[in-house]
């Protein structure tokens, strides 16, 4: 998927008329980071990719979505959820493009030891989630808690936050974000 992420990033960057240097400057990352991602030599963490995309700006959902869909679609089969992450983290979003919607709903799965990366994520809005199975370490600002099955969280997304599976089994949860800026 590294090559696919790189091709997508390059295509979107060029569609917005940005050079690698301009995107790097706007995202607050090194120019080499953009170059390596586009060349498929660097597989960015979720937090790193989010930071890069904020420089355009587009959401992870828009980045991974292939097409805009009609707003009136009601039902989505499990195999129709849009994957918007890579590696040890899976984010399966309901709908392909949610940029014009009020809520972003995601089924997340973190493999043991996997997380959103060493850098905290920030974005506008609020988010919440409930753990279905496994254990998840959630850090929001300077607070950290390890949540298990049935536990939940809710916070303003402008606070720096990150997630990591600290258990020995996959952690699954359902999350919601409003507005869909992630």
CATH of the domain at 29: 1.10.260.40
Residues 56 and 88 in one domain: no
Q: How far apart are CA 27 and CA 101, in angstroms?
A: 25
CATH (domain of 84): 2.60.120.10
Q: pLDDT confidence of 1, banded at 50, 70, 90?
A: low
pLDDT in the model for residue 106: 95
Q: pLDDT confidence of 15, banded at 50, 70, 90?
A: confident
| 140: phi then psi, degrees, rounded to nearest 5 | -130, 115
Residues 91 and 174 in one domain: yes
Q: Which of 51, 33, 172 is nearest to 163 (CA)?
A: 172
Residues 87 and 151 in one domain: yes
Percent of the chain with pLDDT over 70: 93
Residues 51 and 93 in one domain: no
Residues 34 and 114 in one domain: no
Domain tally, the chain: 2
CA angle 50, 53, 58 (to 5 degrees): 110
Residues 87 and 9 in one domain: no
pLDDT in tens, 135-158: 999 999 999 999 999 999 999 999
pLDDT in tens, 106-145: 999 999 999 998 889 999 899 999 999 999 999 999 999 9
| 82: phi then psi, degrees, rounded to nearest 5 | -90, 120
Task: Say what the pTM is.
Answer: 0.67
Residues 159 and 89 in one domain: yes
In angstroms and rounded to an integer, the radius of gyration of the C-alpha atoms of the chain is 16
* The domain boundary residue, chosen from 63, 83, 100: 63
Question: Please, what is the average pLDDT of the chain?
Answer: 88
Residues 53 and 125 in one domain: no
pLDDT in the model for residue 69: 47
* The domain boundary residue, chosen from 40, 63, 86: 63
What lies within 8 Å, CB to CB, of 124 at 6+ separation is: 157, 158, 179, 181
Domain that holds residue 49: 2-63
Residues 83 and 171 in one domain: yes
Residues 37 and 57 in one domain: yes
pLDDT in tens, 58-90: 888 778 775 544 446 788 888 888 888 877 899
Using the predicted structure, report yes or no on whether residue 103 has a pLDDT greater than 70: yes
Average pLDDT over residues 1-16: 81
């Amino acid at each position: 998927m590294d090559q696919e992420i790189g091709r997508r990033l390059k295509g979107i960057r060029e569609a917005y008329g940005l050079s690698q240097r301009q995107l790097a400057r706007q995202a607050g990352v090194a120019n080499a980071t953009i170059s390596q991602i586009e060349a498929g030599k660097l597989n960015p963490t979720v937090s790193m990719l989010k930071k890069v995309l904020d420089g355009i700006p587009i959401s992870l959902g828009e980045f991974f979505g292939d097409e805009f869909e009609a707003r009136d679609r009601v039902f989505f089969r499990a195999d129709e959820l849009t994957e918007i992450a890579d590696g040890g983290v899976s984010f399966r979003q309901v709908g392909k493009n949610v940029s014009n919607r009020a809520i972003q709903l995601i089924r997340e799965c973190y493999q043991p030891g996997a997380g959103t990366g060493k850098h905290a994520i920030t974005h506008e809005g609020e988010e919440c989630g409930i753990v279905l199975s496994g254990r998840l370490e959630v850090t929001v600002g300077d607070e950290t808690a390890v949540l298990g099955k049935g536990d939940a969280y809710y916070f303003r997304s402008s606070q720096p936050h990150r997630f990591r599976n600290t258990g020995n089994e996959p952690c699954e949860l359902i999350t919601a974000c409003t507005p869909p800026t992630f």
